[in-house]
Structure 1
Amino acid sequence: MMSAHTTIAQSGTFSIGGDLPVRRLGYGAMRLTGPGVWGPPADPDRARAVLRRAVELGVTLIDTADSYGPNLNEELIAEALYPYPEDLVIATKAGFLRRGPSQWHHFARPDYLRQQAEASLRRLKVDVIDLWQLHRIDPGIPEEAQFETLKALQEEGKVRHVGLSEIDVDTLERARSFGLDVATVQNRYNVVVRDAEALVDRCAELGIGLIPWFPIAQGILAESGNPFSDSARELGVSPAQLSLAWLLRRSPVMLPIPGTSSVEHLEQNIEAAAITLDDDRFAAIDELGKELAPGIDVPTGA
């Protein structure tokens, strides 16, 4: 029988920033909050159990943000996992201001970003944040000022690597021209939401990790009788597992972080690492995703 660690190892590894190796199939902790990504989870003990099980299964990349809760998600991770395994990379973000459930407001003023980085260090109980991402570029603040803050925190040793979220290729190139060493990009991307195709390819060229949020397209893909669910059934897997397998096959820099508040679903997601898609099957799923895209309800969350 294949062990859990052997299964997740089949996802392969990627080295964030060239010096932080992680297994390519990670875990996104956003769902371990209350409704609207606000407040604590309904069952904190269950949430901590999910985090611990993720590590037991061999997950080495956990993604969170100061805005999840807000603040409570980072605290939960520390409660469940500190002291952390040596190979565990925790990525967090700043750049949103929360005023209530499902409310997300750009706020990336340099002093606020610095304040939030310091707070994340305390909540996560670390001296250095492994990967600190700008959750969104604030259109009301000069872009260069936001880049400069990330760069300064990295130079001060408070942040090991920096990333950007929800950007395009042009923004990535401007950040690099500014001198920002971008280690990862986190954009909404999956088999049907494909507006970041050019960014995926550019990240692969540069060796930058691409962290797709909303990696498992819901809705039509899970309905019985459509071509995608039929393909999953033929392979003996779930539509969610097939979505993750497609992502892992799509690019060697892809780092999916499926989130769940269920240990059972977590284990099912991890099993996707063992699914092998040959060239023909990958091409067929790729084409199906494009055909089904108009029927997908795309979320606007973070």
Structure 2
Amino acid sequence: MTSTARSSQLTATGAARAGGLGVLAGRTVSRVGYGAMQLRRLDREAAIALLRRAVELGIDHVDTAHFYGNGFVNEVIAAALRPEDDVLVVSKVGAEPAPGGPIPLRLAQRPEQLRAGVEDNLKSLGLERLPLVNLRRADHGPGLRPEGDQIVDLDDQLAVMADLRDEGKIGAIGLSSVPLDGLRRALPMGIACVQNAYSLVARDDEDMLRLCLAEDIAWVPYFPLGGAYAGLPKVTDEPAVATAAQALGVAPAQIGLAWLLQHTSNTLLIPGTADPEHLWANTDAGAISIDEATLAALDAVPTRSGDIELG
């Protein structure tokens, strides 16, 4: 192995990249990243400590949004991460904070709202340019659905995202909660990643995943263990998952994450947690190798994602 190859196995801080090497927005990153939404559950000191621990564990990409904690999560990231850490911070737009509401966000899909969302992310992260911004749509998967002036054509949204890229405010464009036809429409724009709900028990987007693989687009599933909405099954409840975990001496949740990494080479993970022990377990899942027989048993688990209740 050459010195260049060896160095690519390590983050800028010298830690082995969690889960091995992945590519996101043209950069080499750890295949196991960190979804920062749960940081809003912590106080500032604990949140900073958790992020520093993530860096120590070999994580060098973090997924966030200004609407996570109404700027709190982004501000913590800005305080915790140092330039020498060289962590890729991925943000998103398409929603905005809704403090006191039944859920803590509401859609913000209009082009001017997307632009405002980019500006909010720039300010709260303390950046002049966002390396990658995901456009969070609301027409696919679990979650909110647009109504009234929040029903916006994808082409209009992509146009403003392209303008922001041309202006140098964002580096690359990703999509979230988008159907297959939406991704196909967006391909000429140069899409860096897709974030959709996807797990061992919720594989309705398999065709989209395969298109991403063919087009060298990173697949970054959210709800990677299911169970986040009523009607969405949990990966850890599957007998095949429990059997695999027992055989390999690991936790069922780790099997669910390891399966995703072995399923396709373009998959990156951003599991979120506010617990340092869970953070270590999520990171360690990137080192689990599932044998072919066990993998076949897991692949045979049927998808059961059709009865999700929208929240």
Question: Structure 1 residues 10, 52: CA separation in 2 closer, same or farther (over 3 Å shift)?
Answer: closer
Distance in 2 between the 1:48 and 1:255 partners? 23
Distance in 1 between the 2:58 and 2:266 partners? 19
Q: Is the 8 A contact 1:163 1:184 kept in 2?
A: yes
**Equivalence for 1:234:** 247
Distance in 2 between the 1:147 and 1:221 partners? 34
Segments ≥4 residues shifted beyond 6 Å: 4-7
The Cα of 1:111 is off from its aligned counterpart by 1.4
SS in structure 2 of the partner of residue 30 of structure 1: helix
**Equivalence for 1:133:** 134
What CA deviation, in whole Å up to 9, does each residue of 1:67-88 have, x standing for no partner? 211221111111222x333531
Percentage identity across aligned positions?
Answer: 36
- Output aligned runs, 1:52-131, within 5 Å: 52-81=52-81, 83-99=82-98, 100-131=101-132
SS in structure 2 of the partner of residue 126 of structure 1: coil
What CA deviation, in whole Å up to 9, does each residue of 1:244-300 have, x standing for no partner? 100000111101111100111100111111111132221111213x26x37x98585
Question: Structure 1 residues 191, 126: CA separation in 2 closer, same or farther (over 3 Å shift)?
Answer: same
SS in structure 2 of the partner of residue 195 of structure 1: coil
1:15 aligns with 2:23: yes
Distance in 2 between the 1:247 and 1:124 partners? 30
Distance in 1 between the 2:16 and 2:263 partners? 17
Instruction: Select the residue among 147, 159, 163 that pairs with 2:170.
Output: 159
SS in structure 2 of the partner of residue 85 of structure 1: helix
Q: Could you state the TM-score of these two structures normalised by the residue count of structure 2?
A: 0.83
Distance in 2 between the 1:115 and 1:226 partners? 46
Question: Structure 1 residues 253, 69: CA separation in 2 closer, same or farther (over 3 Å shift)?
Answer: same
Instruction: Select the residue among 189, 206, 231 that pairs with 1:197.
Output: 206
SS in structure 2 of the partner of residue 14 of structure 1: strand
Q: Could you state the TM-score of these two structures normalised by the residue count of structure 1?
A: 0.86
Question: Structure 1 residues 84, 101: CA separation in 2 closer, same or farther (over 3 Å shift)?
Answer: farther
Distance in 2 between the 1:287 and 1:87 partners? 39
Q: Is the 8 A contact 1:8 1:25 kept in 2?
A: no
Distance in 2 between the 1:300 and 1:244 partners? 24
In angstroms, what is the RMSD of aligned CA positions?
A: 2.4
Distance in 2 between the 1:155 and 1:227 partners? 48
1:209 aligns with 2:210: no
Q: Is the 8 A contact 1:220 1:226 kept in 2?
A: no
Distance in 2 between the 1:251 and 1:134 partners? 23
Question: Structure 1 residues 10, 27: CA separation in 2 closer, same or farther (over 3 Å shift)?
Answer: closer
Question: Structure 1 residues 80, 101: CA separation in 2 closer, same or farther (over 3 Å shift)?
Answer: farther
Distance in 1 between the 2:86 and 2:265 partners? 20
What CA deviation, in whole Å up to 9, does each residue of 1:164-190 have, x standing for no partner? 1011221011112xx311100000011
The Cα of 1:42 is off from its aligned counterpart by 4.2
State the AA in 1 paired with 2:83: Y
The Cα of 1:197 is off from its aligned counterpart by 0.8
Instruction: Select the residue among 15, 24, 32 that pairs with 1:25.
Output: 32
- Which residues of structure 1 form unaligned runs of 5+? 34-40
Question: Structure 1 residues 238, 71: CA separation in 2 closer, same or farther (over 3 Å shift)?
Answer: same
Q: Is the 8 A contact 1:136 1:164 kept in 2?
A: yes
Question: Structure 1 residues 203, 229: CA separation in 2 closer, same or farther (over 3 Å shift)?
Answer: same
Distance in 1 between the 2:102 and 2:70 partners? 10
What is the aligned residue count? 283
Q: Is the 8 A contact 1:7 1:274 kept in 2?
A: no
Distance in 1 between the 2:307 and 2:20 partners? 30
Distance in 1 between the 2:307 and 2:280 partners? 25
Instruction: Select the residue among 282, 290, 299 that pairs with 1:277.
Output: 290
What CA deviation, in whole Å up to 9, does each residue of 1:24-75 have, x standing for no partner? 1111011111xxxxxxx34332222111100111101100112211221111
Distance in 2 between the 1:60 and 1:10 partners? 8
Q: Is the 8 A contact 2:15 2:56 kept in 1?
A: no
State the AA in 1 paired with 2:17: A
Distance in 1 between the 2:256 and 2:15 partners? 17
